[in-house]
Amino acid sequence: MEPIIRIQNLDKRFLISRRLFSRKRKVVDAVKDFSLDIYPGEIVGLIGESGSGKTTLSRLLLSLTPASGGSVTIGSTNLVTAKRREIRAVRSRFAVVFQDPASNLNPRQTVEHSIMRPLLIRGMDKKEARQRAREALDKVQMAETYLAAYPHQLSGGQQQRIAIARALVMEPDVMILDEPTSALDISVQAQVLNLLLDLQAELKLTYLIITHDLNVIRYVSDRIAVMYMGRLVEIGKTQEVLENPSHPYTDILIHSVPILDPLHRDDEKRLFPGEPGEVPDCPAACRLAPRCPHVMEKCLTSQPPMLEVSPGHLAECFLLEQTV
């Protein structure tokens, strides 16, 4: 099966000033040599600490931020080198659901207008757009009476359903969900996740879910991609990665989740040493080297290769050379 999205050696560098009003600048690699294939109809969960580059990656996939190198291929189009007209055509296959629905819904517009707006921008007739809005609202299990409501009259869960309906109205192939449940209560999170799973099965959608919540990933995703400081450090089937993490970062990330039963010590909570975003002195070094509890001499001078732990399960670490 051909991937619906093929990301190869993607890079994004930002130049930032070292001090206010200073001409001296330093380079920050927000995404570095990132490669990932996403296949039609699957759910890929992208996890990592805040600042690991997850949202920047999603912006690169949508061409909202220009890449510094590499390629993002969708169909026959490479978005990194494509012209504006080609990007606009490919972008119509994507839809995005953001973290905070309240900040993405215009408080002065009704639910109906919020859902219709993308269609009207595309030039669709208002009557047809209104009908499509009703159909989208029905798909997210909300009554038509909500079409006349304003965002402030809705709960957080209802606002997120409206955001999902606005994404669905464009009939996308791929949905990027950036922390879709982090602003919701636990009980509402379950309802929204079940809704997303039902829609994915019904409409044959492909999801890229960006989150730091491992419980969400465990519940919905087929595969997990682990990102650290712009690099893909591990990828594999969800259950295998969570039960048998092969990269030190993945292992400590999983075991840093709070323990619900303090009497249960089989799965001891661990803390990651160092500070997020610590950059090694050597540009060619493993980016985890300053914080890794298993760091070796060669980690400080060279980048480890991506090795196959088992079919479909890959990780980037020198420790695996002794076992693979």
> In the sheet that 77-78 helps form, which strands lie side by side, from edge to edge?
25-38, 5-17, 69-74, 77-78
Over range 168-196, report the average pLDDT. Answer: 87
Residue 43 maps to a domain: yes
**Residue 29 pLDDT:** 87
* DSSP 3-state of 208: strand
Is residue 37 one of the residues assigned to a domain? yes
Over pLDDT 90: what percentage of the chain?
Answer: 51
163 — phi, psi (to 5°)? -60, -40
276: in domain: yes
Query: 127 falls in which pLDDT band (50, 70, 90)?
Result: very high
Q: How confident is the model at residue 28 (pLDDT cuts 50, 70, 90)?
A: confident
Asked whether the predicted pLDDT for residue 23 surpasses 90, the reply is: no
**Considering Cα of 209, then 215, then 221, then 222, what sign does the dihedral take?**
positive
What does the DSSP 8-state code read for residue 304? P
Q: Which helix (H) or strand (E) holds 315?
A: strand 313-316
Whole-number pLDDT of residue 27: 80
Asked whether residue 259 carries a pLDDT value surpassing 70, the answer given is no
pLDDT at 264: 54
Residue 22 pLDDT exceeds 70: no
Torsion of CA 58, 62, 64, 66, to 10 degrees: 90
Q: What is the pLDDT of residue 272?
A: 67
Q: What predicted TM-score, i.e. pTM, was given to this entire model?
A: 0.89
Q: How confident is the model at residue 135 (pLDDT cuts 50, 70, 90)?
A: very high
120 occurs within a structural domain:
no
Please write the tens of the pLDDT for every residue from 265-324.
455 556 666 666 677 878 888 888 888 888 888 888 899 999 999 999 999 998 887 665
Contact predicate 184/160, CB 8 Å: yes
Q: Which two tokens stand for residue 70?
A: 């590499």
The answer to whether position 70 is within a domain reads yes
pLDDT in tens, 48-81: 888 889 999 999 998 999 999 999 999 889 999 9
Q: CATH number, domain at 313?
A: 3.40.50.300
**Residue whose entry in the numeric block shows the structure tokens 């606002």:** 159
The model's pLDDT over 72-105, given as tens digits with 9 standing for 90+, comes to 999 889 999 999 999 988 988 899 888 777 777 8
pLDDT of residue 262: 57
Query: What is the per-residue pLDDT for 258?
Result: 66
Q: How many domains does the chain have?
A: 1
| Distances 142 to 4, 109, 128, 163, 286 between C-alpha atoms, Å | 31, 18, 19, 12, 49
Give domain status of residue 116, yes or no. no
Q: What is the pLDDT of residue 270?
A: 62
List Cβ<8 Å contacts ≥24 apart for 182-185.
182/99, 182/211, 182/212, 182/213, 183/99, 183/100, 183/101, 183/102, 183/156, 184/156, 184/157, 184/160, 185/156, 185/157
Between strands 206-210 and 174-178, the pairing is parallel
Confidence tier at 247 by pLDDT (50, 70, 90): very high
Report yes or no on 157 lying in a domain. no
CA distance 21 to 112: 46
In angstroms, the CA 227 to CA 209 distance is: 13
d(CA 227, CA 32): 10
pLDDT bin (cut points 50, 70, 90) of residue 33 is very high
Report residue 197 CA to chain centroid gap.
16
> What pLDDT does residue 324 have?
58
Asked if residue 144 is part of any domain, the answer here is no
Range of the domain at 9: 5-93+172-322
- The pLDDT score that the predictor gives to residue 281 is 76
Treating both helix axes as pointing N-terminal to C-terminal, what angle do 111-121 and 156-168 enclose, rounded to 10 degrees? Answer: 20
Edge-to-edge strands, sheet with 313-316: 94-97, 174-178, 206-210, 43-47, 223-228, 231-237, 313-316, 306-310
Higher confidence at residue 216 or residue 6?
6
Q: Are 52 and 227 in contact (CB under 8 A)?
A: yes
With bands split at pLDDT 50, 70 and 90, how would you rate the model's confidence at 240? very high
